[in-house]
Amino acid sequence: MIYFALVGLGTLFFSWTLLADGVDGHVASEDNGQQAIDNFLAGRFNWMVSSPLISPVNRPADPCHAVKDPTIVRYKDRWHLFCSIRSQKRSHQIEYISFDDWKDANVAERHVLTFSDEYFCAPQVFYFTPHKQWYLIHQVIDKSREPALQPAYSRTSDIANPTSWSKPVLLFSEHPDNVKMWIDFWVICDTTRAHLFFTSLDGQMWRSETKLMDFPGGWSRPNVVLRGDIFEASHTYHLKGLDKFLTVIEAQAGDRRYYKAYLADRLDGQWMPLTATKDKPFASPANTRDTDMHWTDSFSHGELIRDGYDQNLEVNPAYLRFLFQGVSDQAKKGKKYGEIPWRLGILELVQ
């Protein structure tokens, strides 16, 4: 475990524990758990920011600028993390890291996935129970289509073997005729259907669906399901105990990135704002505090740490942790977008 302590106003002590075992041990009592739920439903989010936990590896053959777009599950007492990396020669690849304790994350062996020699990035990982296989949803380039950026999947029966993933297969047999731009693809399932969400960099979030028996094919024509001051990296989860769904989605504030949140009763339902303004964000400099050195002014493309690892993507609203990519204004100053030195850290709620 990694422990951080914050001392304030003489008698106020707050201890923050970054759990390595995935057990819900943060909420000490039923009363505190109910308070956390009340805070959640009221959109009251206050976070502590960990130190940077994972940084780019400077491979001599292809120096790495950034680690980005994390997706993570806890399986067989280990964390399995997939992320995009931006390097000097190859701009977009997916890297796999496995470790049992967060203190070892940055020194764990790195594996660049080898299922493609071309562009591939922005992963999402989950275990699809009906097929008894792991799926990695990601985006690739297909120059025969317009736009060339396309959602794809790879799969394996062994998440711990980075060489076992199948070659990418496009999700859509033909490009949808009503979509001119799409990015950051995310799948979540209910009892009968799989739902694909994505954004289009113009203030819109879209949804497509397919029957569970037809997954990973058979997707419907996408429709816009949310419009607002939103940008990219929409991630959707089932809220344990509430029978509601949460979407967190990245927005822009000048040169900085921050997160908003929306709620719905159904995956095909209406998304209502929970924390959807700069003054009331899900995660931004306005509602975060550092545990140690200040290292980030942006809270970008992140993944809520799930209770499980299957296609239902369940999280505990009383105990949220958010793995995100961050960078300070100073560290990115004067750099091209692909050279920004993003690192990964975790936000944990302060109740």
Q: By CB neighbour count within 10 A (0-12 exposed, 13-18 middle, 19+ buried), where does 106 fall?
A: middle
Total domains in the chain come to 1
Place of tokens 């399901």: 225
One-letter amino acid at 86 equals R
Which residue range(s) make up the domain with 72?
A: 2-349
pLDDT at residue 32, as a whole number: 74
Give the up-direction half-sphere exposure of residue 118: CA atoms within 13 A in the CB hemisphere: 11
Using one digit for the tens of pLDDT, what is the confidence trace for 227-237? 999 999 999 99
Q: Are 123 and 71 in contact (CB under 8 A)?
A: yes
Nearest 10 degrees: Cα torsion 81, 82, 85, 91: 170
Q: Regarding beta strands 133-141 and 149-156, do their DSSP bridges make them parallel or antiparallel, or are they unpaired?
A: antiparallel
Using one digit for the tens of pLDDT, what is the confidence trace for 263-278? 999 999 999 999 999 9
What are the backbone angles phi and psi of residue 266, rounded to the nearest 5°? -140, 155
CA distance linking residue 333 with residue 335, whole number of Å: 6
pLDDT at residue 286, as a whole number: 97
- CA terminus-to-terminus distance, the chain: 20
pLDDT at residue 351, as a whole number: 78
CA distance linking residue 320 with residue 275, whole number of Å: 15
The DSSP 8-state label assigned to residue 212 in this structure reads G
One-letter amino acid at 228 equals G
Give the residue ranges of DSSP H helices in 179-247. Answer: none
pLDDT at residue 58, as a whole number: 86
pLDDT at residue 12, as a whole number: 29
The DSSP 8-state label assigned to residue 106 in this structure reads G
Closest alpha carbon to 152 in 133, 164, 139: 139
**Weakly modelled stretches of the chain, pLDDT under 70:** 1-31
Count other Cβ atoms within 10 Å, centred on residue 211. 12
CATH number, domain containing residue 106: 2.115.10.20
